[in-house]
Amino acid sequence: MSDNFKHNSVILEIRAGAGGEEAALFAYDLFRMYSKYAERQGWKVRVLDSNQTELGGLKQIVLQIKGKDVFEKLQYEGGVHRVQRVPKTEKGNRIHTSTVSVAVLKEPEQMQVKINPSDIKMDFFKSSGHGGQNVNKRQTAIRITHMPTHIAVSSQISRNLEENKKAAMAILEAKLFKISQDKISSKIGEERKTQIGQAQRAEKIRTYNFPQDRITDHRIKKSWHNIDKILDGDLNAIVNKLNKFLK
């Protein structure tokens, strides 16, 4: 499918799945990996929403990433990422398996998505910090629900209500744009469902095996070593191989 906006902006969602706190910690690792990779590419990253845990993990984080060919390079990152390692919270030195889901959504240009104001419901609440601690006495966080589709998005990054509203609307527009594209291709939302799944351990596109220092992408049956280097943003080898075999 051809796109007029040259794939220069995406909304990237990262959500902790199965595995509790360890999944949240790995979600942070993936957030850091994509942020570092974006920095190497000269892309701009903006956090639109996040929900952190007391141990520094992420229940979820939503990013806006802008730059040349950003969708082309990140499009195959969508799906369930599985990690196998000994968690920081594990005292018995046992290896745990956890999952994190990633979704990559093209961000539409202005006027590509029209939202009727009467179709949205806005709820306001107080922003919270690490572990749900209240950090703002005013109701500057926002949740926007698109009533026809029941899609709900939120943002509490800024202490400014208008900034949070803009961020939430950007997320909503990207999701609605995704649905419109799926309708054109007769998929109607199945692509995004496939990307995220239910984040169960068996629904995986990639496994990060720390004891064996190996990352395996199950779609192309290819493995790489040096996990620490890759999680530090050195994704080029994986991105290039996926674009070669999955394009």
Q: What is the pLDDT of residues 210-237, one digit of tens each?
A: 999 999 999 999 999 999 999 999 999 9
Does a structural domain hold residue 1? no
93 lies in the same domain as 151: no
What is the domain-level CATH number for residue 166? 3.30.160.20
- 66 lies in the same domain as 174: no
Q: Quick one: average pLDDT of 159-174?
A: 91
Provide the pLDDT for residue 181: 75
Question: Does 2 reside within a domain?
Answer: no
* 27 in the same domain as 95: yes
DSSP category for residue 68: T
Residues 82, 203: Cα–Cα separation, whole Å: 9
- pLDDT tens figures, 39-98: 999 999 999 999 999 889 999 999 999 999 999 999 999 999 999 999 877 777 899 999
What is the Rg, in whole angstroms, of the alpha carbon atoms belonging to the chain? 18
Least Cα distance to 55 among 102, 16, 95, 96 occurs for 16
Listed residues 184, 207, 234: the one ending a domain: 184
Same domain, 94 and 56: yes
193 & 104 share domain: yes
Structural domain boundaries, residue 63: 9-108+188-246
What's the confidence (pLDDT) of residue 213?
97
Residue 99: Cβ-neighbour burial (10 angstroms; 0-12, 13-18, 19+): buried
Q: The domain spanning residue 35 has which CATH number?
A: 3.30.70.1660
Residue count of the chain? 247
Cβ neighbour number for residue 218 with a 10 Å cutoff: 13
- Tell me the three state secondary structure of residue 153: strand
pLDDT at 196 over 50: yes
Residues 68 and 147 in one domain: no
Average per-residue pLDDT for the chain: 86
Q: Classify residue 81: in a domain, yes or no.
A: yes
Query: How many structural domains comprise the chain?
Result: 2
